Amino acid sequence: MYLNANNISFAYKKNKPILKNISISIPDNKVIGLMGDSGSGKSTLCKVITGYIENYTGTVTLDREVINNKGYHPAQLIFQHPEKTMNPKWKMHKVLEESWNPPQELMDTFGLKDNWLGRWPNELSGGELQRFSILRALNPNTKFIIADEISTMLDAVTQVQIWDALLDYCKHNKIGILAVSHDKELLDVIADDIILFDDINKL
């Protein structure tokens, strides 16, 4: 199964396009790395692929079928800052349950402690919250994970633990990954292919 973005163009402001005819294809058995300068449109592309931005031109398809943005989106985006993606008045178990109820073993492999489930988002650190947002995205309906700088704010040990768990789960469940990062060393380790995303405004 392939997740395809075909001829994507998008502009936040008129006449200042940030994405110009971008095409990208992600297979479900690989990890694709995406590297590029700040402001080059990496995150914007991620948002287009996962349905957060709707007024773009071009198509996003799963194999040949155009994705319906009303239902569960097969490509789930994980953000760099997890705290913004959680309702501040919800306890963590409700945040997870909005997507699904992950099995206990899976929570353990991500190092998620049981007593965190009864806490509020502002009582957990960024790294702890990021485990929740990754786990939330691993709903059985997810076919692709778009990871937008998900480990930038984590320490080296946590980074290894989380990526190990995520890569392992995705391999077993045939979930393709698009990993966006500045960190070339990280991408060298985890990615099968690396795409360099040049600043298209300069072209």
Q: What token pair was written down for 168? A: 């392992």
Using CB under 8 A, pick the residue from 85, 130, 151, 181 that binds another protein. 85
| Residue type (1 letter), 103 | P
Residue from 25, 87, 104, 201 touching another protein (CB under 8 A): that is 87
Which has the closest alpha carbon to 119: 150, 80, 88, 82? 88
Minimum Å gap between C-beta 99 and another protein is: 5
Identify the CA nearest to 155 among candidates 123, 126, 122. Answer: 126
- How many Cβ atoms are within 10 Å of 71's Cβ, its own excluded? 8
User: What is the spatial distance between Cα 120 and Cα 159, in angstroms, rounded to a whole number?
Assistant: 23
51 near another protein, rule: CB under 8 A? yes
Map residue 170 onto helix, strand or coil: helix
Question: Least distance (Å) from another protein to the CB of residue 10?
Answer: 16
CA distance 92 to 24: 34
Pick out residues in 91-130 that bind another protein (CB under 8 A). Answer: 98-99
Residue 139: CB minimum distance to another protein, A: 7
Regarding 12 and contact with another protein (CB under 8 A), the answer is no
- CA-CA distance, 56 to 62, in Å (whole number)? 17
C-beta closer to another protein: residue 21 or 59: 59
**5, 40, 48, 79: which one binds another protein (CB under 8 A):** 79
- Binders of another protein among residues 135 to 194 (CB under 8 A) are 139
Interacting residues with another protein (CB under 8 A) = 50-52, 70-73, 76-77, 79, 84-87, 89, 98-99, 139
